[in-house]
Amino acid sequence: MNTKSKISGLLKDNIENFLFVLPAFAIFCVFYIYPFTNMIYISFQDWIGIGPMHFVGLQNYKELMGDKLWWDSIWHAGYITLFALCFQNPLAFALALACDREIRLKRFYRVVFFIAPVLSEVVVGLIWNWILNPETQNGQHIGLLNHFLYASGFPQLVHDWLGDPKTALTTIAIVNSWKGFGWGFIILLAGLQTIDKQLYEAAKIDGAGAWKTFTNVTIPMMLPVILVVMILTILGCMQVFVLILTLVNEGLVNHTDVPVTRIFSAMQNTNRFGYACAEAVVFGIILVSISFLTKKLSDKAKQA
Amino acid sequence: MKTNRYFLWGMAKSTLIHIFLMTVALTCLFPLFWMIRCAFMTNATVFVDQSLIPHHLNFGNFAIAWTKGNFAVFFLNSVIYTVSVVTGIVFISSLAAYSFSRLKFPGKNIIFYMFVGAMMIPLPGSFVALFVLMTKLHLINTRFGYILCMINVGLSMSILIFKTFFDKMPHELEDAARIDGCGKFGIWWNMAMPFARPAIAVIVIFNSLNVWNEYILSTLLLGDSNLMPLQRGLVVFQGANSTDYPVLMAGLTMAAIPIIMVYLFMQKHIVKGLSSGEVLG
């Protein structure tokens, strides 16, 4: 009798405790686990979104391997990511170093640098779309950039920045970096502020100059933070989509396509749900591998 | 002589640093200034007048955007989505996190690591399968469906932040509440939630930014223009009136100002949330 009530009490306890998790778990299963597994399942089918599915095995994946537009789109996203890694992150680090000291207006800088990251991609994309507008009216350049170039004596530089396949991708990469560097700045600045000031003192006593202190104290101490920023940059830039959508208005499709654009158009324009899911699976694997590799490299660098 | 040289070097260095920082700061602010400036112009002047401050300030664009551009509806929708999603996330994730942190049941760790794993694995194309699911559930073009999807988006991160907070909560607090006759639910509401107030602030801010700025899911799930949030409305408006730049800029300004205000008032929490690394997982 006693043990029985004990067991039923324990059971009731467990059920009660699980009820706390139930809402989260239910939403998670329906809106994450199920779509996740279903995505893999659909990727083996030929399906237009309604009606019966046709199992086609690896056909979607085989076609994807030879799809030049798809690999081009990966390269475009890779280009934007490389641009951010080479310019945006060093800029963020330089700004963080400049702000990591007693300096006037420090709070002002910190607030201003993080405004662009809190704005939506739609807002940023449409503002820059207007600034970069290539049109003229009555001989006047209506876009601010071209007007400025013309008025300040560089008419030869006036250009359709987003319309020319040669410059479109770099222009997008610059706007993307403009929007994104504030994230890195805030995280790196917070990292710099956790470095023990005694380490700098010790380096000074040992006779290390500014550069030596930077390479021997700051960089090694900051390595984990730098890697976090790198991984976040890679994952964020590879998935850029809305910014491009609002910047180019679907104008220059094949030159500025990124993977998410391809997935979107496979689904919405051609109704090829199986193919879209295959693209999504391949893209997911690529992203996980990149961040895994970055992590592995960082562990190696830490040991060395 | 020597100190003088050091002093000069220091002055030059700090001036250079300020020039560098100021240049970047102006680059950040100018496009926003340009947006607001153009919002106060008319279609007749916006293409001709390139002066910094226009001669005539025209406030009509905001009214046009608000009524004819349907922004009143978009704005209200954005507010509805943001408030309901964030409220949902705070309650659902704190309940789950409390159980993960303090209570026991079989399979607890597995479920917890599923949430953590979901945060680590990026799912760039999951919207395809989500669209299929929502069609099946007849939740396309409903507020409820979009809200549920967005709650799911913020769940993992919020559970993790809450759990790290609840783990730090002293056991004495709970014992005292239990002696006072509080049940588990009572302890969660009366003790754990007030204790986690800083975590709630971080979670509310980050999820609000996320919902307010969301675009992809609202595009897929909400085709009815009466249900669209602001970001989607902006793109629709731009597609329909691609040359009406002053009104478009007025719309952009209205979408940007609330988020900038929230940011300015809450930036302490944002910096704290980011720098404590909790948000990064």
Rounded Cα gap, residues B153 and B246, in angstroms: 34
Give the closest of A17, A112, A281 to B99, CB-based.
Answer: A17
Q: What confidence tier does B172 reach under pLDDT thresholds 50, 70, 90?
A: confident
Q: What is the pLDDT of residue A228?
A: 86
Burial class (CB in 10 A: 0-12, 13-18, 19+), B14: middle
Is B98 within 8 Å of A20 when comparing Cβ atoms?
A: yes
Q: What is the pLDDT of residue B278?
A: 43
User: Between residues A158 and B23, which one has the greater pLDDT?
Assistant: B23
Q: Structural domain boundaries of chain B? A: 2-60, 71-275
Q: What is the pLDDT of residue A251?
A: 59
Backbone angles phi, psi at A55, to 5 degrees: -70, 125
Q: Cα–Cα distances in Å, from A288 out to A291, B58, B119?
A: 5, 50, 12
All residues of chain A having their beta carbon less than 8 Å from the beta carbon of residue B236 are none
Give percent above pLDDT 90 in chain A: 53
Nearest CA in chain A to B47: A142
All residues of chain A having their beta carbon less than 8 Å from the beta carbon of residue B125 are 39, 259-260, 263, 276-277, 279-281, 283-284
Mean pLDDT of A17-43: 94
Rounded Cα gap, residues B78 and A47, in angstroms: 34
Q: What is the pLDDT of residue A2?
A: 67
Q: What is the pLDDT of residue B111?
A: 94
Burial class (CB in 10 A: 0-12, 13-18, 19+), A94: middle
Q: Taking Cα atoms as reference points, which of A48, A63, A22 lies closest to residue A279?
A: A63
Is A104 within 8 Å of B111 when comparing Cβ atoms?
A: no
Q: pTM (2 decimals)?
A: 0.90
Q: What is the pLDDT of residue A113?
A: 94
Q: Which domains does chain A have, with CATH numbers?
A: 1-42 (no CATH), 61-303 (1.10.3720.10)
pLDDT at A183 over 60: yes
Is A42 within 8 Å of B188 when comparing Cβ atoms?
A: no
Mean pLDDT of A192-211: 86
Treating both helix axes as pointing N-terminal to C-terminal, what angle do B245-275 and B60-67 enclose, rounded to 10 degrees?
80
Q: How far is B130 from chain A, CA to nearest CA, in Å?
A: 6
Is-contact A257 A136, C-beta < 8 A?
no
Is A36 within 8 Å of B267 when comparing Cβ atoms?
A: no
Q: What confidence tier does A304 reach under pLDDT thresholds 50, 70, 90?
A: low
DSSP A188-205: HHHHHHTS-HHHHHHHHH
pLDDT at A271 over 60: yes
Q: What confidence tier does A206 reach under pLDDT thresholds 50, 70, 90?
A: confident
Is-contact A70 A259, C-beta < 8 A?
yes
Is A263 within 8 Å of B124 when comparing Cβ atoms?
A: yes
Backbone angles phi, psi at B229, to 5 degrees: -80, 175
Is-contact B80 B143, C-beta < 8 A?
yes
DSSP A205-241: HTT--HHHHIIIIIHHHHHHHHHHHHHHHHHHHHT--
Q: Taking Cα atoms as reference points, which of A277, A26, A259, A122 lies closest to residue B218?
A: A122
User: Between residues A54 and A6, which one has the greater pLDDT?
Assistant: A54
Predicted confidence (pLDDT) per residue in B207-240, tens digit? 999 999 999 999 999 989 899 999 999 999 888 8
Is A130 within 8 Å of B188 when comparing Cβ atoms?
A: no
Is A120 within 8 Å of B280 when comparing Cβ atoms?
A: no
Mutate to test the interface with B, among A126, A249, A265, A288 (most CBs of B within 10 A): A126
pLDDT at A59 over 90: yes
Q: How far is B139 from chain A, CA to nearest CA, in Å?
A: 12
Helix boundaries (H) for chain A: 2-28, 34-42, 59-65, 68-83, 89-99, 106-113, 115-118, 121-131, 144-151, 165-193, 197-205, 210-213, 219-238, 242-248, 253-256, 259-268, 273-303
pLDDT at A216 over 90: no
Name the architecture of domain B71-275. Orthogonal Bundle (1.10)
Predicted confidence (pLDDT) per residue in A280-297, tens digit? 999 999 999 988 888 888
Q: Taking Cα atoms as reference points, which of B259, B32, B37, B246 lies closest to residue A128?
A: B32
pLDDT at A240 over 90: yes
Q: Cα–Cα distances in Å, from A189 out to A103, A194, A222, A252, B241?
A: 14, 9, 10, 38, 42
Mean pLDDT of B121-135: 86
Cβ atoms within 10 Å, residue A99: 21
Residue A116: partners with Cβ closer than 8 Å, 6 or more residues away: A124, A178, A179, A180, A181, A182, B28
Q: Cα–Cα distances in Å, from B95 out to B103, B129, B210?
A: 11, 28, 21
Q: What is the pLDDT of residue A6?
A: 80
Cβ atoms within 10 Å, residue B4: 8
Q: What is the pLDDT of residue B281?
A: 37
A118: contact with B, CB 8 A cutoff = yes
Predicted confidence (pLDDT) per residue in B51-105, tens digit? 777 777 888 889 988 988 889 999 999 999 999 999 999 999 999 999 999 998 9
Q: What confidence tier does B275 reach under pLDDT thresholds 50, 70, 90?
A: low
Q: How far is A155 from chain B, CA to nearest CA, in Å?
A: 16
Tell me which DSSP letter residue A102 carries. Answer: S
All residues of chain A having their beta carbon less than 8 Å from the beta carbon of residue B35 are 127, 130
Mean pLDDT of A151-164: 87
Rounded Cα gap, residues B251 and B234, in angstroms: 7
All residues of chain B having their beta carbon less than 8 Å from the beta carbon of residue A239 are 122, 124
Parallel/antiparallel/unpaired status of strands A140-141 and A136-137: antiparallel
All residues of chain A having their beta carbon less than 8 Å from the beta carbon of residue B133 are 30-31, 34-35, 38
Q: Taking Cα atoms as reference points, which of A271, A267, A240, A274 lies closest to residue A256?
A: A240
Is-contact B153 B210, C-beta < 8 A?
yes
Rounded Cα gap, residues B235 and B220, in angstroms: 13
Cβ atoms within 10 Å, residue A199: 15
Of A61-65, A70-74, B2-6, minimum mean pLDDT range: B2-6
pLDDT at A298 over 80: no
Rounded Cα gap, residues A231 and A267, in angstroms: 28
Residue B70: partners with Cβ closer than 8 Å, 6 or more residues away: B225, B233, B237
Q: How far is A255 from chain B, CA to nearest CA, in Å?
A: 21
Residue B5 token pair = 């040289």
What one-letter code names the amino acid at B161?
Answer: I
Q: Taking Cα atoms as reference points, which of B141, B98, B264 lies closest to residue A112?
A: B264
Mean pLDDT of B255-273: 84
Nearest CA in chain A to B148: A27
Nearest CA in chain A to B145: A31
Q: How far is A41 from chain B, CA to nearest CA, in Å?
A: 10
Give the closest of B108, B132, B263 to A273, CB-based.
Answer: B132
A positions 149-208 inside 8 Å of B (CB): 151, 178, 182-183, 186-187, 189-191, 193
Rounded Cα gap, residues B163 and B153, in angstroms: 17
Give the closest of B128, B216, B249 to A273, CB-based.
Answer: B128
A positions 29-68 inside 8 Å of B (CB): 30-36, 38-39, 42, 49
DSSP B232-244: HHHHHHHHHSTT-
Rounded Cα gap, residues A233 and B36, in angstroms: 29
